[in-house]
Structure 1
Amino acid sequence: MPFNYNKEQKSPKRRFLLILGTAAFICFVVLGLMIMFWERLPLQLQPYQRILFGAFIIIYAVLRFSRLFRKDQYED
């Protein structure tokens, strides 16, 4: 998957989606870390289940974030 660096300025729509996607990435990573390491979080899960659930959320965040940089074939 080659990274196509485009020197043109992003449209306002693409810029907004990049900012929104970055904010969602940060929120999901923080949520995953909270689930994994915050003991006082009121979840009735075993420690290994907490780690697995937090890891799945972080993996989901990385996958979402990586989709931001994929070139859309229908884009102008």
Structure 2
Amino acid sequence: MFDFNSFKQKSPQQRFLFILGLVMFTFYIIFGGMLIIWSDMPVPLERQYRVMLGCLLIVYAAIRFIRLIKQEDN
């Protein structure tokens, strides 16, 4: 899945974009989890909508991660 040799052979721009993709994946996972878990969040949404939005963000993060890994293999 992840090979350090192919990571070393990338150009600096490709490495930066890969790391930026990982940072954004982590951001979406954390923000989606915060929406689901944090009950007193200062967002004026009902609980069910916050859970749906949190799940949507986590699914979106998974899709981004899969695309990032598939791009890594090419």
Smaller-chain TM-score bracket: 0.7 to 0.9
State the TM-score, normalized to the length of structure 2: 0.76
Counterparts of 2:70 and 2:11 in 1: how far apart (Å)? 15
Report which structure shows greater RCO (CA 8 Å, sep ≥6): 2
1:62 aligns with 2:40: no
Distance in 2 separating the partners of 1:27 and 1:38: 16
1:34 and 2:34 matched: yes
1:1-76 equivalences under 5 Å are 7-8=5-6, 9-71=9-71
**Structure 2: gaps (5+ residues):** none
Structure with greater helix percent: 2
Structure 1 runs (4+) deviating above 3 angstroms are: none
**Structure with the greater alpha carbon radius of gyration:** 1
Provide TM-score, normalisation by structure 1. Answer: 0.75
Q: RMSD over aligned Cα, in angstroms?
A: 2.3
Structure 1 portions without partners, runs of 5+: none
